[in-house]
Amino acid sequence: MPHSINLRIVPGLYGVARLATGASVPDWFNGPGFSALVRSDDELTLICLQDRVPGDIEAEPNWRCLRSLGPIPFNATGILQALIQPISENGIGVFVLCTFDGEHILVPDRDWDRAERLLEEAGHVFVS
């Protein structure tokens, strides 16, 4: 498991929205900032800046995001565990999205300061 991972705060507050299985990607999803789309057999999950998510859409608001900075080899092990363990062991829920180049960890805004402190105490470094 890596000792120290460089992290960057991804600006903004994010919403995690759920749409029906066969839903098309709505226009409101497109725009600036981090976003992600995951389609499964039983739902379409969209993550984007929460001010773009309409009020009539089922969504969990008020998530903040950080991401690992590489390069980290694609086959490296223990990266996700090293990031999640200090947070989840202290009762903070996370929502995780992995991309080709890094891990994105979403943490409830109400727990953000504590999560950031826990990650630093675990040896991870926040960079600009």
**What are the residues whose beta carbons fall under 8 Å from the beta carbon of 83, sequence distance 6 or more?**
5, 7, 68, 103, 105, 119, 124
Identify the helix (H) or strand (E) that includes residue 79: helix 79-88
Question: Do residues 84 and 66 lie in contact, with contact meaning Cβ atoms separated by under 8 Å?
Answer: no
3-state SS assignment for residue 68:
strand
Domain boundaries, the chain: 6-126
Q: What is the pTM of this model?
A: 0.92
Q: How confident is the model over 40-97, as pLDDT tens digits?
A: 999 999 999 999 999 999 999 999 999 999 888 888 889 999 999 999 999 999 999 9
CA distance 4 to 95: 21
CATH of 6-126, one of 3.40.50.880, 3.40.50.720, 3.30.420.40, 3.30.2130.10: 3.30.2130.10
